[in-house]
Amino acid sequence: MSKLEIVKVPDPILRETSTPVESVNADVRRLMDDMLETMYDAPGVGLAAIQVGVPRRVIVLDVSTDDEEPQPFFMANPEIVHLGEAMRTHEEGCLSIPGVNVEIERPADVTVRYVDREGAAQELTADGLLATAIQHEVDHLDGKLIIDFMSRLRRDMIIRKFRKQRQASD
């Protein structure tokens, strides 16, 4: 396994729609493993392949706490098939937009269909932080970011700030 570089805003790849994975093969499993290592190192609770520059419909998640055993999820081609009616507001951060947190209201529970690390079709109903993380990462696969939930003015200010930081480091 190896740690990958996380793409940051305003990189245009973050706005691309990711393409489906045809099959979960050794290359996809290696990508999943590298993404998980990268996510743990960052640290974060979820990571989409597009965030490491790979526009494929792959996400990894682990919302376990430090005092729990890791409980990673590997999802290829995740598809949200049901959103609950109850809503939950959670302050979300993003590894591609470090230091920015946004209060976002999303459905409190979600059902997602996906292909697991072994290539088997799965369906999972999740609530709480896992439901939020799944929706956040699936948004990434569709080119949507947490800053899209804020006003255009605030979003533009954040993008300008990251542009300046990138120019200063070049």
- Residues identified as active-site: 137
d(CA 134, CA 62): 10
Give the bridge partners for 74, in sequence order: 60
d(CA 103, CA 156): 17
Under 8 Å CB-to-CB from 162, ≥6 apart: which residues? 8, 9, 10, 97
Under 8 Å CB-to-CB from 147, ≥6 apart: which residues? 9, 97, 100, 102, 154, 155, 158, 159
